[in-house]
Structure 1
Amino acid sequence: MLTTSPLSRYATVLVAGAGDVGQRVARQLAGRGHRVLALRRSEVAQGDDGVHWLRGDLTRPETLANLPAVDALVFAATPDRRDEAAYRAVFVDGLRHLLAALPSRPARTVFVSSSAVYGEHGEGWVDERTPTAPPGFNGRVLLEAERLLGEGDVVVRLAGLYGPGRTQLFERLREGKAVVPRGKGVYANRIHVDDAAAALVHVLTLDAPERVYVGVDDTPLPIDALYDHLAGLLGAPLPGDGPSPAGVGSKRLSNARLRASGFRCRWPDAREGYAALLV
């Protein structure tokens, strides 16, 4: 099992793109004793969470002037629109702008990517060694951004996120709007947002991390099995038969490498994680 590095190695960490995941990462790092700077487009009032909030737009390099040197970077940005131009502006150009604006290159960057970089694999298992073949623009742009990283940097390809504030699926099930490709071996791969943040903190502080990790829980489920289970919890009708989600592709993601590094999910099965949101 790999060990974690002392806090002093990455004493100052910049979290770029402090949305839902980024804010959780920032607060976890601050709680572990790191000096944490968090950059986001909209202003955030300074609080007592130990995080120093900065305002800047990754797509506008002039707003990134005067950033301090940092030991490590967590790039957790998200575009404000789901189109190729917005993705490229944030993930490719935004990463370039940020690295150019920093006085020196961080000793380690953790880049938040997506399992969308993998293609269609049916019921087959997918891990970090699986060749990438993104079916959509999102995966193609993220792969391009991954190639901007240097030696010692780490990519975490997250599966679908759920958690507090991410309960749109519940509403779609209640309203009878959710559909699933029944009996076609299409898998739902999920990770609770708190586990996603914890995984990013974990790989940041490993002594000798691998280049890529898949960030997913322990239990990939057929999407119809997951949706039917949630419908039962909600007392909602079972979803009808319909197409797979666009731009994702069917696959079973493995977190074996992440687990081998010492990481454990608090919510290893999305059925339990989703149920906890209803309490």
Structure 2
Amino acid sequence: MTVLIAGCGDLGTEVGLRFAQLGHRVVGLRRNASVLPAEIDGQSVDLSITKPVIPADTEFVVIAISAGSPTVTAYRAAYLDGLRNLLDAIDDAQVTPRRVLLVSSTAVFDVNDGSRVDEQTPANPKPGTDSIVLDAERMLHQRLPAATVLRLAGIYGPGRERLIKQVQNGAGLSAQSRHTNRIHRDDAAAAIVHLLLRTELPAPLYLGVDNAPVPANEVLTFLAAELGLPAPTVRESNEPTSNRESQRGGDKLLSNQLLRQTGFTFSYPSYREGYRALLSGRGTRHR
């Protein structure tokens, strides 16, 4: 039995390693497969222009593709052309995977009023790259109605230290702190493995986010304390703050209730456990 990972970046590689540890053969697709660890059989392929080779015994497919740049052109190439070539290749190989999961983004919710968002909340992405991500979800469900979409909040973890560096550089608080949502890379990978291997058929959609959607200022204040730095203060509008992340993600309270109802438990249920692990040097970011 083979697990096929389309898009073996940091997250996809972590997923592949977890499946390999469980005894599964893992095939990883990426532009340069030579950087993949030995536990993953790499296939170098640019999915935006080429159909990959699909192993005949493929049982699980994880689609964790990402765009090479934050442009509409790059997103179309990755999320639409890449997904179409992958699904066409699966059809051409006459392979019927038992389960298929697409990693998507909670950016498809353009919510800015601090309200609760769950799987029943209608997606309303901004025009541009966020709309393309939703188009990819729709393409997947049109082609494979039983497939699952996992919309992840902002991923943090090993090698993703931008917020820490901003605090170290003295960025201040925002006068209007919006709620931020996140998930540790390891929990995102664990959730993917969990949903694919559980006995019950997964739902069409889950939100992947930890238990603690909180104001951005709370996270910044926590990090400053953990780093032994003075508590950040509210800055004037023309001074640098770290609120750019929360502005990009809107202002919403993402719910992980449906994911937790499947029996999934978080290693890092909030930013506190996750950032403490990160500050202690735990984990490695995959190339």
Inter-partner Cα distance in structure 2 for 1:109 and 1:252: 27
User: In the alignment, does 2:103 pair up with 1:112?
Assistant: yes
Inter-partner Cα distance in structure 1 for 2:172 and 2:124: 25
Moved more, 251-260 or 123-132: 123-132
Q: % of aligned pairs identical? A: 41
User: In the alignment, does 2:256 pair up with 1:269?
Assistant: no
Q: 2:65 maps to which residue?
A: 77
Change (3 A) 1:66 1:269: closer
Match for residue 232 of structure 1 among 225, 228, 235: 225
Deviation beyond 6 Å, 4+ runs, structure 1: none
Letter in 2 for 1:135: K
User: In the alignment, does 2:197 pair up with 1:205?
Assistant: yes
User: In the alignment, does 2:90 pair up with 1:96?
Assistant: no
SS of residue matched to 2:33: coil
SS of residue matched to 1:147: helix
Inter-partner Cα distance in structure 2 for 1:266 and 1:277: 13
Change (3 A) 1:127 1:228: same
Letter in 2 for 1:199: A
Q: 2:150 maps to which residue?
A: 156
Q: 1:173 maps to which residue?
A: 167
Alignment of 1:1-279 (within 5 A): 11-44=1-34, 47-49=37-39, 51-61=40-50, 64-69=51-56, 70-102=58-90, 103-104=93-94, 105-135=96-126, 137-149=128-140, 150-176=144-170, 178=171, 180-184=173-177, 186-206=178-198, 207-237=200-230, 238=232, 240-241=234-235, 242=241, 244-245=244-245, 246-279=247-280
Q: Could you tell me the TM-score, scaled by structure 2's length?
A: 0.86
SS of residue matched to 1:148: helix
Contact 2:47–2:86 at 8 Å: present in 1 too?
A: yes
Following superposition, the deviation at residue 121 of structure 1 comes to 4.1
Render the CA deviation track for 1:31-89: whole Å, top value 9, x for unaligned.
Answer: 1122211111113257542x21111111121xx35432322210001111011111111
Inter-partner Cα distance in structure 1 for 2:48 and 2:197: 28
Unaligned 5+ segments in structure 1 are 1-10
Q: Could you tell me the TM-score, scaled by structure 1's length?
A: 0.88
- What number of residue pairs does the alignment pair up? 264
Inter-partner Cα distance in structure 2 for 1:257 and 1:270: 20
Following superposition, the deviation at residue 250 of structure 1 comes to 0.8
